[in-house]
Structure 1
């Protein structure tokens, strides 16, 4: 049997390694859930960085373009590839293929994130900070991470990959890498220093200095007994149970995080000073989406009314750092306590854009839309369930923040409309069967004018109507 020779980036240039890997990756990448060009042919592939983490395991950063976006900048992806002469049966499901040329000719290439040995050694790098080529591994000095934690790869995520170690820690590995500090490290780290316990604090992370400085992964405590909000909402609907108590507490948790964010990061200018610019951006997205989703066309004039009302709004409320992609899948409930996770924002947007201060009501609108999605995920549809949850959530938010999101209905309606337009584009492209869900909201939002704020908005007391008037 031929002796296994582990590939060494120091002895093979990226261009030479790419001759072994290009054909395999062109086929494998479009099949991955986290690949932005899913199902599209990769037309260009470049190897930006190659680092040997341990013998037979390569950390790669690759740049790709696909045939439908040749005019756009390439995307950078993080890969962890294993290389063996023979792949044992237990790793058959991780196989990418056998290299036919170049320095790895004849070797089997596989996804090393699914190999326990490589996952173990990745944690060991985080336990003992240091550098490996352009990679730097760091951790909080006061945190001692145990050795020997059994790894398992979660299969529920789409835009990233996560390894759980012994049900104690979770390592999120950012698949699509962009220059700069990732908000999913920056924000929880800052919130921890504010004393906010609603967000699991980072204990270790790793980053790269080449080709540009970027965050690659974050290790945080794993809430093993927690359930995500989407699962809990669907269980409530299936059992015919009310969800208003949970929604109320979730509103309070959201406001608590927003208050901590306002203390951790500098505030921006008041909404009123940029309302015209915000409305113009929303109108541009509406125009672009209506060209791609013809179902929107009958509602464009009505939806534009929401953005026109925003343009005329003179609000003195400042903008701030927010979550940026808040919905029921981004919150966890352990016992009776809610936690907020995944501060990465929308991965398709540039990191610099995701770090911009924004009105907190954008997060609120995202959660309100999520209640609607849950209610419409089962038949018969339960709009009254969503309505009670929405009221309860806003009341909980008001109780903690001393400001009710419904106090400025023009702002809330504009952001909810903008979110529904985004959802319509996503569903039309990826899940056509789900398009009726955002379209139902679009029909509602296009017809109605902003409702007056509930009595007592902006006071310390929550609005009590979600139990009495809504039949909760």
Structure 2
């Protein structure tokens, strides 16, 4: 929603935020309305009890009017205070027709001059200035602190160019996402973190470590970062720049098309689903250990791609555990502190999900309703599983992990459909500290397995696919596909991990940690589905039932 009535101030642009009336108008009406329409604003479903401009930081630009970096702090009725990064600029009336509607915060009249208050990331001059500062490893004073622009090795070659005079082509990435990304020269992506945290963002931390220090080749290279630093206070990650990777898109549609072919082959051959081989879940298998008929239904090339994804996943974890001198990344054994943290977090999450299931039974039907009732009946079983986690029985190590690993976080790269892993921010529902806790690398493996499961059911739910088999048969066939690709992935992952001495334990421990992580992930997913897509709640419910029934 665009506010059509301009806000008027007699102050100059240099003192605009000293006008208390203007600030009140912005914080009480204008900015809340603007935030509600932004994809990156995480508190859309909450009532805002308070919104304040926590920081107003002048930011120099090579124009008569600079920008301001606003740190907007909101207090929702559903939780703790949150901070958001909103850089703003003034666009004069004679050029305001060129502005994208999504950039406009409000019309303003500043000391008699009409124009627009806009999100500065939509202005070319602001984007170019960010790039120049990154090229020059600049430290720019803002308020009582400074913005530190750290240049990565991939950017160093560009220092030979006089970037102060060079016109850098830039555009905002048009994809709807939780941050804002800028594309420079079709060669670099700069991700601006909209939500700010009291600690460096794990995305920036891990990307730098993997590509600048550990030599991992299958993630977009670190090109630079922007960090807000203040003496005696915590560092805040503002942005991460990475090299653009040529790709065919992420692995989600890649997997969907192959799963669809599997179902179509079943229907074309009029295969009896009962006759399809049932691989034991979480039991590693080589491709040649599957029946020929199952390999033909899935596709030998698909199973090879699954192996390749497993290889890249294991290599990521090997790289993440490679520096025993850096306390942030050195592997650690399981201990009682971790166990207490894990159980408390999962019990709280599980309790909230039980309430959601009880309140949404009326929105479910068929198999989903059956699973939901069994979920509630077996509440004690799941609590026991959570509480039975015992670090004293585990010999493997914990490391820094991706934390939100799924098919959408993997790019498919030409020419041979290899894989490139990205986005290390972790699960958005978790606190920033929790995202950095070292965990079993099998947590990421479980995340990818849950993503396989989702892709299967998403294919069945897509009404454009026009299947002739009833859904219950498709679900049964899908579960057999799932068990097979999990088995092939697991065999390649374990072999690679053990060859390079990544300590994931022996097979019984691997199976135990995978089952625990799969249960944790399915319970986490259940909250989203019941809140936003109740017809899809069958997917995490099926995942839970699969584990409980053994």
Which band: TM-score by shorter chain?
A: 0.7 to 0.9
Q: Is the 8 A contact 1:163 1:171 kept in 2?
A: yes
CA distance, structure 2, for counterparts of residue 125 and residue 16 of structure 1: 34
CA distance, structure 1, for counterparts of residue 450 and residue 335 of structure 2: 22
Partner of 1:176: 195
Q: 1:106 to 1:89 in 2, by over 3 A?
A: closer
Q: Which SS does the other structure have where 2:90 is aligned?
A: strand
CA distance, structure 1, for counterparts of residue 497 and residue 445 of structure 2: 12
Q: Does residue 318 of the first structure (1) align with residue 325 of the second (2)? A: no
Q: Is the 8 A contact 2:247 2:411 kept in 1?
A: no
How many angstroms does 1:148 deviate by?
3.9
How many angstroms does 1:78 deviate by?
0.8
Q: Which SS does the other structure have where 1:310 is aligned?
A: coil
Q: Does residue 419 of the first structure (1) align with residue 544 of the second (2)? A: no
Q: 1:356 to 1:39 in 2, by over 3 A?
A: closer
Q: Is the 8 A contact 1:163 1:170 kept in 2?
A: yes
Q: Is the 8 A contact 2:96 2:116 kept in 1?
A: no
TM-score (norm 2): 0.73
Q: 1:293 to 1:103 in 2, by over 3 A?
A: farther
CA distance, structure 1, for counterparts of residue 442 and residue 506 of structure 2: 6
Q: Mind listing any 5+ residue stretches in structure 1 that lack a counterpart?
A: 449-472
Partner of 1:284: 348
Larger gyration radius, structure 1 or structure 2: 2
Partner of 1:187: 206
Q: 1:302 to 1:411 in 2, by over 3 A?
A: same
Q: Which SS does the other structure have where 1:63 is aligned?
A: strand
Instruction: Please list, as runs of the form range in 1=range in 2, the aligned pairs for 1:210-359 lying within 5 A after superposition.
Output: 212-240=234-262, 242=299, 243-264=302-323, 265-270=329-334, 274-275=338-339, 278-294=342-358, 295=372, 296-311=375-390, 314-335=393-414, 336-359=417-440
Q: Once structures 1 and 2 are overlaid, which stretch shifts more, 120-129 or 245-254?
A: 120-129
Equivalent residue for 2:216, pick from 183, 196, 211:
196
How many angstroms does 1:309 deviate by?
4.8
Partner of 2:44: 38
Q: Which SS does the other structure have where 1:162 is aligned?
A: strand
How many angstroms does 1:425 deviate by?
0.7
Q: 1:202 to 1:18 in 2, by over 3 A?
A: farther
Deviations 1:384-415 (A, max 9, x none): 33222212221221121025885422221111
Partner of 1:395: 491
Partner of 1:461: none
Partner of 1:65: 75
Q: Is the 8 A contact 1:253 1:338 kept in 2?
A: yes
How many angstroms does 1:103 deviate by?
7.4
CA distance, structure 1, for counterparts of residue 21 and residue 418 of structure 2: 52
Deviations 1:283-313 (A, max 9, x none): 3321232123224423423433533553387
CA distance, structure 2, for counterparts of residue 137 and residue 14 of structure 1: 31
Q: 1:100 to 1:12 in 2, by over 3 A?
A: closer
How many angstroms does 1:156 deviate by?
2.9
Q: Once structures 1 and 2 are overlaid, which stretch shifts more, 320-329 or 145-154?
A: 145-154
Q: Mind listing any 5+ residue stretches in structure 2 that lack a counterpart?
A: 1-7, 263-297, 324-328, 359-371, 461-473, 499-503
Q: 1:270 to 1:74 in 2, by over 3 A?
A: closer
Q: Does residue 384 of the first structure (1) align with residue 463 of the second (2)? A: no
Equivalent residue for 1:48, pick from 26, 50, 54:
54
Deviations 1:18-51 (A, max 9, x none): 3353221111112211111114343311112232
Partner of 1:21: 26
Q: Is the 8 A contact 1:361 1:405 kept in 2?
A: no
Q: Does residue 144 of the first structure (1) align with residue 194 of the second (2)? A: no
Q: Which SS does the other structure have where 1:263 is aligned?
A: coil
Q: Once structures 1 and 2 are overlaid, which stretch shifts more, 53-62 or 421-430?
A: 53-62
Partner of 2:449: 368
Deviations 1:364-398 (A, max 9, x none): 11111000001110124422332222122212211
What's the C-alpha RMSD, in Å, of the aligned pairs?
3.0
Q: Which SS does the other structure have where 2:404 is aligned?
A: coil
Q: Is the 8 A contact 2:88 2:119 kept in 1?
A: yes
Q: Which SS does the other structure have where 1:325 is aligned?
A: coil
CA distance, structure 2, for counterparts of residue 152 and residue 324 of structure 1: 29
Deviations 1:159-184 (A, max 9, x none): 21111222211111111100221111
Q: Which SS does the other structure have where 1:47 is aligned?
A: strand
Q: Which SS does the other structure have where 2:397 is aligned?
A: coil
Q: 1:172 to 1:125 in 2, by over 3 A?
A: same
Q: Which SS does the other structure have where 2:240 is aligned?
A: strand
CA distance, structure 2, for counterparts of residue 351 and residue 138 of structure 1: 22
